């Protein structure tokens, strides 16, 4: 780029110099042309005077004495002519302006002329000779004009000497100021006179040289195109022939003299261009240097960045290695107490927002010390590694297993649906760890059994430390109770867990022997207090434990695939009850059935329902289904499909426990739901808790906009009911209005149709 710039700069400068030179040469040439034109015009004028002389000469020859006095050049005021002489036809001097008796020089000219021209030959009007001077005055030229009669016969000769030096002197200033050299040639190529500045010279013979070739050309004027024979440099100038006389003028200058004046300017141009080029080059160099430096700097920076990031990476690796070492058990590779505390604390935070249980299991191997002492530490270590492996295998990936040291392991299991599930996990751990161990350092049949203590969040502790120490305490209780067992920290749970297992074992039998029964709770229209429907709630009439509520066995049934047969039983029982009421003439209202997640995933649900309706000839509008939001999580499409088919059968669907899940109203809108049942959690504090009241109020208005009915659950006081009435709730259900009761107990209310409140 820079090079191009410099080249352009130089090209411009050089062309400019060239152009200026050319212009100067052109100017000089036209100047020379002008001077040549002026001089030739003057010379022609002077020569024309000779004709006048010739006329006077002729008269003088004829004897007119007066004429002679005219012939004096001084008289004629023509100083260019030195003297005049007239010869008769016999070449005798007739007149001499110098009053000489003889004019040898001029006589010579006459003789020469006469010897070359015979009488019968045509005469030239004017013959111009060459200088006859031996020394100096070479510019004094003889001129001869033959005087003839009418017939052309020679009568005499008019001769004169023209001082071309004198003539040229008039141009001294011109020559000096313009620098032009002025030359006068005769027509045979002799240079008669030359004026160069102040210098006069003449009489140089250039005949036959290319310099004077112009003399033989037809054109009057010509540009000089060759050097003078005695010179090497071709001049700039003009050859110009006189039109009337055999003379020519050359006005010329040397190119140097023309270009001389420009030299300084041109030197300046070159100097300036050179300085500019240098500046550009220096600038470029500077720029390149800066760029180079920056590049080097950038590379250094990049390099140090890379170094830094490598270092950071190394540090990170080192950190994670140290962390791994510090946070993991060296023997089993599972987390140690440190990491357990860290992760468990984070998990506990999450547990605060969950409705499910979080459990810490504290496990200790029975008789481990014995194995260690008798079979050696190698076997003990191998056993611990195997135990860790088995624990990881039976737990979910996101459950946390850690070794606290020695034979103590601790496990955190999150999101457990029920206490019975916790008990099951504990049983599973005990069963798995108690299985014989094979191939531990050549020992094939090592057995151990764990004792497990369980602490539940939040009831047994709010922090990891609390939970750990309570689980530890529970573990000691388990050990005391006999090895290979588990114990809850909350002693009451030990029996309830045991009861869960008992209930589970009796569940199928209970279904067969009709130990289940339904209680009914009415839903009331807030404005008319009329019973708009009843909800069927299941109870287990246990032969040993009495009436058991669904909280205790629904989750159990769900976990063990018993909820579908249970649901089946409920659907049939409800239809049977409706048929019975119909027989008794009780006014019928729709009965709502609660349906759980698993049931909704069962595509046979619709069929079960329609079959039951058909068996007892119950119109479908008398059956309502209550689902919870949890039913929609997971396989939403399937659930939506089942709901759609139920709706198509004419069965209405309500969304139960609304507000405890995550379903937004817009999402609910896509389902065939006719009512929302606001969970009693929000109703409980509706009078005191502003945010609950807000939630309920906005739910009501949003539901209204979506064309949904709103039922408030768990209304336990008059105040709650009034509040709900004010904010536009449609229906209510709760202990304040009526507790769930048996079919026999609800029948009179149904007959009454309207509730009477105290």
CB of 655 to ligand C2E, least distance (A): 11
Stretch that binds ligand C2E, among 166-174, 344-352, 493-501, 594-602 (CB under 6 A): 594-602
**Best CA proximity match to 737, nearest among 752, 628, 573:** 752
Nearer to ligand C2E, 595 or 639 (CB): 595
* Backbone φ, ψ for residue 71 (5° rounding): -75, -10
Between 76 and 95, how does the x/- string for binding to ligand C2E read (CB under 6 A)? --------------------
Binding mask 658-697 for ligand C2E (x = CB under 6 A): ----------------------x-----------------
In the bound complex, what is the minimum distance in angstroms from residue 513's beta carbon to Mg ion?
A: 26
Closest C-alpha to 56, from 26, 90, 85, 99: 85
- Min separation Cβ 637 and Mg ion, Å: 24
Distance of closest approach, residue 646 Cβ to Mg ion, in angstroms: 16
Residue 132 per-residue DSSP state: -
* Mode of pairing for the β-strands spanning 591-594 and 623-628: parallel
Contact partner at residue 716 from ligand C2E, Mg ion, none, CB < 5 to 8 Å by partner kind:
ligand C2E
521 binds, among ligand C2E, Mg ion, none (CB under 5 to 8 A by kind): ligand C2E
Give CA–CA dist 587/328, Å, rounded: 69
State which residue, 452 or 623, has the beta carbon closest to ligand C2E: 623
Q: Which is nearer to ligand C2E, 56 or 573 (CB)?
A: 573
| Closest to Mg ion by CB, 190 or 737 | 737
| Residue 453 interacting entry, from ligand C2E, Mg ion, none, C-beta within 5 to 8 Å by type | none
* Cβ-proximal residue to ligand C2E, closest one: 734
* Residues forming the site for Mg ion (CB under 5 A): 594, 626, 656-657, 713
Q: Cβ 634 to Mg ion, closest distance in Å? A: 20
For the chain, give the longest Cα–Cα distance: 194
Stretch that binds ligand C2E, among 305-313, 467-475, 663-671, 731-739 (CB under 6 A): 731-739
Under 8 Å between Cβ of 366 and 484: yes
Question: From the CB of 501, what's the least distance to ligand C2E, in Å?
Answer: 21
Q: Which stretch in 110-118, 209-217, 579-587, 707-715 sits in contact with ligand C2E by CB under 6 A?
A: 707-715
CB 83 within 8 A of CB 96: yes
| Binding-site size, ligand C2E (CB under 6 A) | 24
CB closer to ligand C2E out of 86 and 715: 715
Q: Let me know: does 523 contact 449? Beta carbons within 8 Å.
A: no
**Cβ closest to Mg ion, residue 159 vs residue 733:** 733
Among 550, 565, 661, 672, binds ligand C2E (CB under 6 A): 550
Residue 596's binding partner, choosing from ligand C2E, Mg ion, none, with beta-carbon cut-off 5 to 8 A by kind? ligand C2E
In this structure, are residues 643 and 603 in contact, taking their beta carbons and an 8 Å threshold?
no
Sole binder of ligand C2E in the list 202, 382, 620, 734 (CB under 6 A):
734
- Least distance (Å) between residue 475 CB and Mg ion: 38
* 714 touches ligand C2E (CB under 6 A): yes
Q: Which residues contact 427 (CB under 8 A, 6 or more apart)?
A: 486
Binding mask 626-655 for ligand C2E (x = CB under 6 A): x-----------------------------
CA distances from 174 to 34, 178, 198, 248 (A): 11, 6, 10, 18
Phi/psi at 153 (5° precision):
-80, 145
Q: And the tokens for 389?
A: 């492996």
Of 399 and 656, nearer to Mg ion (C-beta) is: 656
Q: Which long-range contacts (CB under 8 A, 24 or more apart) does 369-376 make?
A: 369/407, 371/446, 371/448, 375/441, 375/443, 375/446, 376/441
Radius of gyration of the chain (CA): 70
* Spatial CB neighbours of 85, under 8 Å, sequence gap ≥ 6: 93, 95, 96, 97, 98, 100, 103, 106, 107, 159, 160
**Site membership for ligand C2E, residue 521 (CB under 6 A):** yes
Going residue by residue from 555 to 574, which x/- string records binding to ligand C2E, judged by CB under 6 A? Answer: --------x------x----
Q: Where are the beta strands (DSSP E) in 51-122?
A: 81-88, 93-96
Q: Does 549 engage in binding with ligand C2E (CB under 6 A)?
A: yes
Measured in whole angstroms, the distance separating CA 96 from the mean position of its chain's CA atoms is 110
Q: How far is the CB of 722 from Mg ion (least distance, A)?
A: 21
- Which residues of 671-744 form beta strands (DSSP E)? 675-678, 709-712, 731-732
What are the structure tokens assigned to 666, written together?
Answer: 């817009």
Among residues 689, 660, 692, 657, which one has the least CA distance to residue 675? Answer: 657
Handedness of CA 538, 542, 545, 547 (dihedral sign): positive
**Three-state DSSP class for residue 164:** helix
Measured CA angle at 10 (ends 9, 15), to 5 deg:
105
User: Shortest Cβ distance from residue 653 to Mg ion (Å)?
Assistant: 12
Candidates 170-178, 338-346, 469-477, 591-599 — which segment interacts with ligand C2E by CB under 6 A? 591-599
Of all helices (H) and strands (E), which one includes residue 37?
helix 2-61
Short-list 661, 535, 640, CA closest to 593: 535
Question: 554 touches which of ligand C2E, Mg ion, none (CB within 5 to 8 A by kind)?
Answer: ligand C2E
Does 551 participate in binding ligand C2E (rule CB under 6 A)?
Answer: yes
For ligand C2E, give the closer residue by CB, 168 or 503.
503
> How far apart, in Å, do the first and last CA atoms of the chain sit?
103
Select from 407, 419, 629, 657 the one that contacts ligand C2E (CB under 6 A).
657
Return the one option of Mg ion, ligand C2E, none that residue 36 interacts with (CB less than 5 to 8 A, by type).
none
The binding site for ligand C2E (CB under 6 A) comprises: 521, 537-538, 549-551, 554, 563, 570, 594-596, 626, 656-657, 680, 713-716, 733-735, 740
């Amino acid at each position: 780029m820079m090079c191009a710039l410099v080249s352009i700069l130089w090209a411009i400068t050089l062309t400019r110099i060239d152009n200026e030179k050319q212009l100067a040469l052109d100017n000089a040439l036209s100047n020379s042309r002008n001077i040549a034109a002026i001089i030739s015009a003057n010379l022609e004028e002077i020569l024309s005077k000779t004709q006048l002389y010739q006329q006077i000469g002729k008269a003088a020859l004829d004897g007119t004495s007066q004429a002679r006095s005219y012939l004096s050049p001084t008289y004629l005021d023509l100083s260019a002519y030195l003297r005049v002489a007239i010869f008769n036809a016999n070449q005798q001097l007739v007149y001499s302006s110098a009053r000489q008796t003889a004019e040898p020089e001029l006589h010579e000219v006459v003789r020469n002329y006469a010897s070359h021209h015979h009488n019968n030959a045509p005469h030239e009007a004017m013959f111009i000779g060459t200088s006859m001077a031996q020394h100096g005055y070479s510019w004094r030229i003889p001129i001869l004009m033959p005087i003839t009669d009418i017939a052309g016969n020679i009568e005499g000769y008019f001769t004169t000497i023209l001082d071309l030096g004198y003539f040229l002197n008039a141009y001294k200033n011109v020559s000096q100021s313009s620098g032009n050299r002025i030359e006068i040639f005769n027509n045979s190529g002799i240079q008669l006179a030359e004026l160069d500045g102040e210098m006069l010279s003449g009489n140089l013979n250039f005949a036959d040289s290319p310099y004077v070739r112009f003399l033989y050309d037809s054109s009057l004027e010509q540009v000089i195109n060759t050097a003078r024979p005695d010179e090497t440099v071709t001049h700039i100038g003009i050859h110009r022939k006189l039109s009337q006389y055999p003379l020519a003028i050359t006005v010329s200058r040397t190119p140097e003299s023309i270009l001389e004046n420009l030299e300084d300017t041109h030197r300046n141009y070159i100097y300036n261009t050179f300085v500019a080029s240098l500046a550009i080059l220096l600038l470029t160099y500077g720029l390149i240097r800066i760029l180079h430096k920056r590049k080097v700097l950038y590379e250094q920076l990049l390099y140090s960045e890379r170094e830094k990031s490598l270092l950071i990476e190394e540090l990170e690796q080192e950190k994670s290695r140290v962390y791994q070492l510090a946070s993991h058990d060296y023997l089993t590779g599972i987390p140690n107490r440190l990491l357990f505390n860290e992760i468990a604390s984070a998990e506990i935070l999450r547990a605060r927002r969950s409705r499910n249980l979080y459990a810490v299991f504290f496990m200790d191997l029975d008789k481990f010390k014995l194995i260690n002492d008798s079979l050696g530490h190698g076997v003990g270590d191998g056993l611990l590694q195997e135990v860790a492996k088995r624990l990881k295998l039976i737990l979910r990936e996101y459950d946390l297993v850690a070794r606290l040291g020695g034979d103590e392991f601790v496990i955190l299991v999150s999101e457990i649906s029920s206490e019975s599930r916790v008990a099951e996990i504990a049983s599973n751990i005990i069963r798995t760890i108690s299985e014989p161990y094979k191939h531990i350092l050549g020992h094939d049949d090592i057995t151990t059994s764990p004792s497990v203590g369980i602490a539940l969040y939040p009831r047994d502790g709010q922090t990891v430390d609390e939970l750990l120490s309570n689980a530890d305490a529970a573990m000691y209780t388990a050990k005391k109770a006999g090895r290979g067992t588990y114990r809850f920290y909350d002693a009451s749970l030990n029996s309830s867990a045991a009861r869960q297992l008992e209930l589970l074992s009796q569940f199928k039998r209970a279904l067969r022997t009709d130990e289940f029964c339904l209680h009914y709770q009415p839903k009331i229209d807030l404005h008319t207090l009329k019973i708009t429907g009843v909800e069927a709630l299941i109870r287990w009439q246990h032969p040993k434990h009495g009436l058991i509520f669904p909280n205790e066995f629904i989750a159990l049934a769900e976990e063990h695939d018993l909820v579908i047969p249970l649901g089946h039983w409920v659907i049939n029982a409800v239809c049977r009850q409706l048929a019975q009421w119909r027989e008794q003439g009780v006014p019928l209202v729709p009965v709502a059935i609660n349906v759980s997640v698993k049931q909704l995933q069962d595509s046979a649900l619709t069929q079960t329902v329609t079959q039951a309706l058909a068996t007892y000839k119950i119109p479908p509008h008398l059956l309502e289904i209550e689902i919870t939001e949890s039913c929609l999580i997971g396989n939403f499409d399937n659930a939506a499909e089942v709901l759609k088919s139920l709706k198509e059968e004419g069965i209405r669907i309500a969304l139960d426990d609304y507000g405890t899940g995550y379903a937004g109203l817009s999402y609910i809108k896509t389902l065939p739901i006719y009512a929302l049942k606001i969970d009693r959690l929000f109703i409980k504090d509706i009078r005191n808790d502003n945010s609950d009241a807000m939630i309920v109020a906005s739910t009501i208005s949003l539901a209204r906009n979506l064309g949904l009915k709103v039922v408030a659950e768990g209304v336990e006081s008059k105040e709650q009911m009034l509040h709900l009435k004010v904010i536009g709730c449609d229906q209510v259900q709760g202990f304040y209005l009526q507790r769930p009761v048996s079919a026999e107990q609800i029948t009179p209310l149904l007959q009454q149709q309207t509730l009477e409140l105290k």
